[in-house]
A and B are shown apart, each in its own frame.
Chain A
Amino acid sequence: MNCREVREKITESLAAGGASLLSGETTHVNSCSVCREFYEKERALFASMDAGLQIAANSQVPPSLLPGLRARLERGPGPRTSLNPGWRFALLAAASVLVLSFLVVRHLPDSRGPTPDRASVTPPEITRPASVVPPTGSGETAHSRRSPRQEPKRLPRYEVSEPLAEVIVLAEEREAFVRFVAKLPDERAVALALANPAPPRKDIPVEVALLQIDELHVRPLEPTEEE
């Protein structure tokens, strides 16, 4: 082991906080005066360093530290503890109500008026002409015969994101439709037939006879010189 290696070992040993050297290094230090001097210097250096660090790290705590801190604390609120159970419950309940109301609002049919961006299209009310109103025994109209509890039926409203295309219906067609609707109560069979689904059809296989061509003449469209 040469002097340079021994010196490195000495420094490392002292840096690691070791009080004594290993046997090989001790033998070298005892035999080499330069290394012994180096060892003594290094030991003194580390001792001074430790003493200096002790001084630096263990300075006197000023007596004003805690009173000063308490004075600063008095200006602020007390130590924070976790939320008390009452508040925790109230917060939980409020959050639940909020979530539930949001869900209810989302899933209920829209009872408000039409919003400006969503057009509501209501089919035009059909006014029956007096002549086509079906006669009733007591002279009551269909509206007046409703039970008092029965809510007036609302006409279906179709909500569409875009306005529907306008369809022009001729006046005579409209009148014909009104007459047809007015006559339906009298023509029960027709009404039932219209209300019931059509009976399923039985598919009957159809046989198509083969086309027979006896004679076929192919003639050019333009006459030739021979003709």
Chain B
Amino acid sequence: MQELVLIPPGRVLEGDATREAEEAAAGREWELRLTECAPLAFRVAQGVLRNAADAEEVAQEALLRAYRKFDRLREAGHFRSWLVRITFRLALDRWRAARRREQREAAWAMPEHRPAPPSAEELAASREFQGRLERALEELPDKFRMVVLLSAIQGYTLEEVSGMLEVPVGTVKSRLFFARKQLAEKLR
């Protein structure tokens, strides 16, 4: 015989309550990771793309993907490491696609449609150096480029960078050394 249990209004079943509590905890954890890691994702994307609008879009896309996989990424270190790698990959994909598009357009463009020469301000020494630096960065191998960017972001030590990339600290140091040497050669 089936037993009937009366549930007073406003009271939820035990299973539902557990599930709701779990979802609430997941929501809180997500907000925490978002506040902590969203700027990092943006900066990684910006370091590759050099365009704030594109970087914002890429960072949002990476965070959305992280959100969809959040049940597997709840551990803080794992989340940050995963997010950095996925952001970098997405940013690189977009950067390469943009470069291909630019090259295609440049090849087809008529001489009169070429962009105007840079203004006097753009030719200022600091900007010129910054432009050269960014171009030099783009020419670096991906693994060097990522280490340079992450180690330049304020607030992250080499140990944290090694955690994000899941490589030993020694590897981070050696990659940073070769990257800086290559950058200096290109800028000299």
- Count of residues in B whose CB is under 8 Å from the partner chain: 50
Task: Report how many A-B pairs have Cβ atoms within 8 Å.
Answer: 124
Chain A interface size, as a band, is 35 or more
Q: Is the CB of B153 closer than 8 A to any CB of chain A?
A: yes
Residue of A nearest to B132 (CB): A52
**A12 within 8 Å of B by Cβ?**
yes
B139 interfacial contact with A, CB 8 Å:
no
Question: Which B21-76 residues have a C-beta within 8 angstroms of A?
Answer: 22-23, 26-27, 30, 34-35, 38-39, 42-43, 46-47, 50, 52, 55-56, 59-60, 63-64, 67-71
Rounded to whole angstroms, the CA-CA distance of A49 and B116 in the bound complex is 28
A65:B43 contact, CB within 8 angstroms: no
Residues of chain A contacted by B149 (CB below 8 angstroms): 53, 56-57
- Minimum CB–CB distance from A153 to chain B (whole Å) comes to 43
Collect the chain B residues with CB atoms within 8 Å of residue A48's CB: 129, 187
Asked if B181 contacts A12 (CB within 8 A), the reply is yes
Set A11, A62, A84: member contacting B15, Cβ < 8 A: A84
Q: Mark A63-75, 1 if CB is under 8 A from B, else 0.
A: 0111011001100
Find chain B residues with CB under 8 A from A55 CB.
Answer: 130
Interface of B is mostly: helix
User: Given A49-B187, A69-B60, A72-B64, A56 and B152 touching (CB < 8 A)?
Assistant: yes
- Using Cβ atoms and an 8 Å threshold, which residues of chain B touch A72? 60, 64
Verify if B165 is at the interface (C-beta below 8 Å from A). Answer: no
- Grouping DSSP codes into helix (H, G, I), strand (E, B) and loop, the A interface class, with mixed when no group exceeds half, is helix
Q: Are B42 and A56 in contact, CB atoms less than 8 angstroms apart?
A: no
| Residue B188, interface by CB 8 Å | yes
Q: Of A17, A52, A65, A81, which one neighbours B42 at CB under 8 angstroms?
A: A65
Choose among A17, A66, A78 the residue with the greatest number of B CB atoms under 10 Å from its CB.
Answer: A66
- Indicate whether A56 sits within 8 Å of B67 (C-beta atoms), given known contacts A11-B181, A45-B187, A49-B187: no
Task: Knowing A56-B133, A65-B59 are in contact, say whether A42-B184 is a contact too (CB < 8 A).
Answer: yes
A81 and B23 form a contact (CB under 8 A): yes
Chain B 166-188: CB-based contact to A (< 8 A → 1; otherwise 0):
00000001001110110110011
Interface presence of B103 (CB below 8 A): no
Tell whether, in the assembled complex, residue A64 and residue B56 are in contact, meaning their CB atoms are under 8 Å apart.
Answer: yes
Known: A48-B187, A57-B153. 17 other contacts (CB 8 A): A15-B184, A49-B133, A49-B180, A52-B133, A53-B133, A57-B43, A57-B47, A57-B152, A61-B43, A62-B42, A69-B64, A76-B64, A78-B23, A79-B23, A79-B30, A84-B18, A84-B19
Chain A to chain B: the 9 pairs with minimum beta-carbon distance, closest first = A57-B152, A53-B152, A52-B133, A15-B181, A15-B180, A79-B70, A61-B39, A80-B71, A57-B153
Which residues of chain A have a CB within 8 Å of any CB of chain B? Answer: 11-12, 14-17, 42, 45-46, 48-50, 52-59, 61-62, 64-66, 68-69, 72-73, 76, 78-82, 84-86
